[in-house]
Amino acid sequence: MKHQYDLIVIGGGAAGLTASGVAVSLGAKTMMIEKARLGGDCTWYGCVPSKVLLNLGKKTALSGKPVDFSVVRKKLDNIRHDIYEEADDPEKFREMGIDVEEGEATFTDKQTIRIKNSDGILREVSSKYFVIATGAKAFVPPIPGLDKTPHLTNHNLFEIDELPKSMIIVGGGPIGTEMAQAFQNLGTKITVVDMLDTILVNDHPDLTAILKEHLEKQGVTYELGAGVKSVSGNKNSVEVTIERGGKTKVLKGEKLLMATGRRANYEPLNLDAAGVQTGKQGVTVNDKCRTNVKHIYAIGDVTGRYQFTHMSEHMAKIAVSNALLKFPMKMDHKHVPWVTYTDPEVAHVGATQKQLDETGVKYATYKFPYNMIDRAITDEKTEGWIYVYAKKLNGKILGADIIGAHAGELISQYALAMKNGVTLKNMADTIYPYPSYALGARRAADQWYVRNQSVGLVKWIKRIFGYRGPLPDLSDPDKIV
């Protein structure tokens, strides 16, 4: 049977845009369907607007002057639209040869979808391959009273026209933490509630403790280890009742932000008609991004695997390559970086220290503080640490954690190194420009040399060459040089 398209991509966010671009570059007749605006969560409700608010919040805090929120909102809208016009405009993709359709897609069988546009007009199209890239939506837990209480999520937070005097944020993950700092700096009194005893639970507890202390100094209040029992309120004020240790407490604020995670968005697709299986996280895929139906793939947030834009792009390349080229490519699970873009930033790549400990892997931790990085000293950004987990014998890097200025850029050094087998020895032997933050990565690598020094070897060198200096003092294994 001859189909109308070689590949149809459902969804026009980061995953869908990448998949469509790769597919058409390989000569495939490609259609991309998006029911709203191209760009998805990243451009409109996530990465881009949140970083705008973090930047403007930092500038506001440094100025010491009250912010005009109408200026903030205008800037926010302008930047989103600039990025949209530069990278996400449908005409750019049509010029590439992609058929871009606006509408909602549903499967009618394994090879056919029905598209319903905004005017209600229906159209059926068939394809040899499909890629599902419909993203995720904000998850709001079933808290008593929440369905009757006005509240914000990442889907409407960036559309507010007035700066709240106070805000309660439920959730201490990346979204809740970034928005806590952004709005606190803009002038909103922030209280963060989380049922866990720590923020950013997937990051190193030493580093998240540093960030939490920093945010508390900025004025953020934390109610950790507390469950939310109920909420109530209206558009002007809310009350959140929390419980901790058997005692209840009522928090009051002007607005409520639910930063309680996201869930895969696939219900409207009628996947049963195509026989595609789903699970608790989302559309079920293997490491080739293929569903149980061999010609249907799923990528990005809709799979629930990794909710990062960079992983959506990675999965798009894997899926399209497997579908169109039959290359046996698989997802890279070992070198996944993530960053929380607070000030200071928190970043990670590879295995966590907890994972290494639980699996019994033998490793050493090499640390280097920001207060020994000269560029951080000149910039007065000395709050931070670099932790690298590596094999003691050969310096093979297993993972890294960083807190500090430009941590998101530094972690890329380790992502590149790990992917390509670059060891701490290789990094230590590389010439880095001075003074730079990146030099901190090399200085951390230097610690591998320091820790691998041998008093016995130095004794032999002294004996052979007749040197008269002291032997190295290796009594403190945690000494940083």
**pLDDT 10s digits, 290-319:** 999 999 999 999 999 888 999 999 999 999
231 φ, ψ (degrees, to nearest 5): -135, 155
Query: Which residues pair with residue 249 across a beta bridge?
Result: 242
Q: Dihedral of CA 324/325/327/331: which sign?
A: negative
DSSP reduced 3-state for 15: helix
Q: What integer pLDDT is reported at residue 455 of this predicted model?
A: 86
The separation between CA 206 and the C-alpha centre of its own chain, rounded to angstroms, equals 20
| pLDDT-derived band at 244, boundaries 50, 70, 90 | very high
Count CB neighbours of 345 within 10 A: 21
252, 238 Cβ separation under 8 angstroms = yes
Identify residue 47 by its one-letter amino acid code.
C
**pLDDT 10s digits, 347-377:** 999 999 999 999 999 999 999 999 999 999 9
Query: Residue range 66-75: average pLDDT?
Result: 96
39, 64 Cβ separation under 8 angstroms = no
394, 425 Cβ separation under 8 angstroms = yes
Q: CA 208 to CA 191: how far, in whole Å? A: 17
Mean pLDDT of the chain: 96
pTM for the predicted model, two decimal places: 0.94
Q: Helix crossing, 14-25 with 309-320: angle to 10°?
A: 30
DSSP reduced 3-state for 208: helix
193, 260 Cβ separation under 8 angstroms = no
Q: CA 145 to CA 151: how far, in whole Å? A: 11
Comparing CA positions, the residue from 83, 36, 39, 75 lying closest to residue 59 is: 75
The separation between CA 474 and the C-alpha centre of its own chain, rounded to angstroms, equals 39
Query: Residue range 222-249: average pLDDT?
Result: 96
Q: What integer pLDDT is reported at residue 67 of this predicted model?
A: 95
